[in-house]
Structure formats: structure tokens, C-alpha cells
Structure 1
């Protein structure tokens, strides 16, 4: 397969535009079909369509919020193991620095770049507190219609010649968007305190499970990492994720199997089953088909 073509259309980008510079330095621009950049007030936005993204997302100048719509499967690594899943609709992410990102489907993305110093002034929040809040935000995926509608309205407004009113709208809307996401993250954290798991507990659990997928994982080990009894751990884990620890581990094993199928074409499916903790290829095939909609062999043949 040849190198991806450069975008057919790049509009309104200048060398001073943070988002345009970010796309160019990351190497992601070559995967994009169309790109358009706009700025209004202190807010910068981009509108990008592409068939595939792959690579390490570099540190952005400012805070980068991504609103992506598409169909297919995606992977991301926030520093504690690959997450893989299917996307059908719209998801909003706050990307941290150096996030590995692999999107294997045609999709459409609107991104928003904000100046942290400007946010500190407008929100009357200290830099350290704001940075910590956005680090927590990067652990979440939001599927809220409000975010989608607000970013859509900001994008259309940025093209209108409305003078200071347009700038006021974009600046105010960006503050509302940030406040909304931070409030949703706070609610999630409060939910954890009421019986779920806190983000740091989930991070430690995912690290532990990722490093031992080929072995048998015991509930007692996972509960010990979370600092809970087995009974309370199972309840808290299910409340946090919506599924049982057993189901979560199965998904992680299938995700690892799909990664090996992509990256190691000469490893047999029997070997992959052993490496991912399934033991038998038939057990891998059963769970892989249930979660990915096809057999491991069919998945490899499509690559």
C-alpha cells in the first residue's frame, strides 16, 4: 500500500495557526482528505475528514478537545495500555500529550484548541489546578449531544462576519464547553466515591491486567490492588464499567489478539490464543467473533 495522499483541500491555515502547525508536525495531515482551519476570538478550530489516522499524537500548544464522528473501530493508548473498541456515532475526547492514536475507519473530526493562559484568566483558576483537571479529563470519553451541538454552532459562527459579537460567542461557548466537561468529570468522580472506582484505581487495575493477560487473573488479586474486599470490588467495578471484571478481561484479551493479528502476521492463531490467555484457538475464535463481529482469520485477511 502506498503512502497516503496529502489533503486535497487545506483552507484558512496560516503558519501561526496552532492547530495547523500541530497537524503538520504530528504527520497526521498526510492521512487527511480535507482540512479547514478557522479562528475566532481566542479560539482556534479545525474541521478534518480522513479515512485513517495512525501515529503518536504530539503535545499540543494549548488544550485540544476533539469531537469525532464515524463508524468502525479505534485504538488509543493513554499511557497504561491499549484500549480498543467500536465507534458508532459521536465521541468527545480531551487528548493529552503523546497519546498513541489509531483510527481505522472513515470519520470526520472537529477539534478545538484553547490557550491555557487565557482559560486561567477567564475562569479564575490556578494553572496547576486546571492542568490536573484536564489530565483527569483525558481518561474519559464523552458521548454527549450538548458537546456536539455546541462545537457545531461554534464552527458555523466562526465563518460569519459578526465582529465582536462572534468573538464573544466563541469565547463564551468555549468556556461553557470546558465547564461542562469538567462538571461531567466531577460527577464521574463523585460517582466513584459513592460506590464506583476512582480513576487512579482503574489505571492501576488496567496496568496490572494488561501485563498479565496470558496468565490466569484472580479476583482476589484485583480486589487487593483496588484495596477492597472481593464482594465490594466486583460491585464497584461493575458500577464503574457496566460489565463484570471477567467480561472486561475478555475484552482486553480480544483487543490484544487483534493487535497481534495486525502486527505479527507470521504468528499462528493457536499461538495468539496462548499469548492472550485463551488457551485454545476455539475459545479465542468464539470471543473474538462475539466482540469483533468476525473470526480472527477473517480479521487478519482484511488487513
Structure 2
């Protein structure tokens, strides 16, 4: 069904992630698969126009015609025998390498296994928002956007496993926060490396935790996600340097880990409703 690749997500967690997920966009597309085939990737679709039609032969099912309205979703797992034709299809589609996705998800979940199941038509507000955010952030290339995309992909993985698998494998028990000395290790690393690319994988490895456990424990300890904490520290340092030094703004933005002076200014405006000139003049 997807017919136009708009972006391959950048490498954001480890070397294989950029191959895990591709984002596609259809605009009033009409067509059909040449012949039935076994899907070799997971496919998740979100319709974004008022009405579109899909004629589908999925697994051993008989031919079905499905009418979709706006913001409806579909999940087609890899390994399913699949054929489709579509009319007036406008939407966002995530094509996910199933083997790399499974490997990544097992790292998040300490080796637990699962299997996605088909959903031909459904609504899920949280999944809809995730797909939209992934499509939007994937178009960008700054380090902060990469870190945000990493967090989104982890959340997508956990949401799919928690809600759309034959066997739910997520341990719902409360893991608690990080021990104070472990939290100090992470915070010291973040503050010492604000000018570098900081990934969830790197932070989790400092404590020998899975990324999933690390994200949960860090948020339990600090009240915010690692991504939010890193951004907060970068903005805090930028404000301090702008107010207390004569360094030019472009240099300050690089020291604080922003991709450009423009990005730093946008973040200051968004979070503090201030521009660098306001800080310099204060």
C-alpha cells in the first residue's frame, strides 16, 4: 500500500535502528499489489483522509472490502500471506523490519518474546498520536530530534507489545526509581557531555540496565523522561552562558548541544518565552 518513502529514520539507538523503521506517505493513491505475498515487514497504517477503500485478502481470510474513515488504523504483521488493492488512500504508513524490531524490543524487555497480531480496522488515539509524531520528527536531523525519535520508537515498541500481541509480556510491577548513587552517575554523565550526542542506550549501559527499565526508573526518580531532563540541562546551561559570558550565541549553542543557534533560540522561546537578546539585556 505505501508508495512514497518520505524518510528513513536516522540511526538513533544503535547501528541497526535506521534500518528498523521507514515512514511512508500516500496522497490519494489508487493501486493494487501485483500478487499475494508473504509480508516480510510489519506494516502499520493510519488513514488521514475522510474516506478510502481497501480490498483485502489477509492470511486465509476471504476477500474483504473495508471502508476506512479518517484516523483509523491497521496492523499487518510480517509473516502473513497478504494481497490488497486500494482506492483514494491518503495516510501515513510505518514499515518495520520485523527481525530487527523483535531484537530491539527484546532488548527493551530483557529477552522476553511476543508476536504481533493482525488488526484490519481499529482506533487507538495514543497509537495515532505516536505515528504522527514519528512521521514529523523523522523529517528532522538534529541531535535533539534524534533523541526524541529514539524515545518515540521505544514508546511505540512497548505500546504495540502491550496491546497488540498474542501474549502480553510486559511486567507491570513497579520497578521503583534509581538508587541515589546510580542516578548521580547518570546525571554527572549528562552534565559532562551536553555538547555530545547522548542516547538512551548510552545512559542505560552506564548502569547495565535495559533501555526500557532505565527509562522507567529514571522517570520514577526525576519525574521527567531522560529526553526532557537532557533538554532541561541544555537550556539551563545556555541561559547561564548567555547571561554571564560574552561568548557569541552560535558558539554557546554548540557547547550546550544544540544543532544551531536557531534551534537554541526556538527552544528558549518555547520553554521560557524568551529570546537570547532578552537574556543578554537582563
Identify the TM-score tier after normalising by the shorter chain: 0.3 to 0.5
State the TM-score, normalized to the length of structure 1. 0.43
Ranked by relative contact order (alpha carbons within 8 Å, sequence separation 6 or more), the top structure is 2
TM-score by length of 2: 0.45
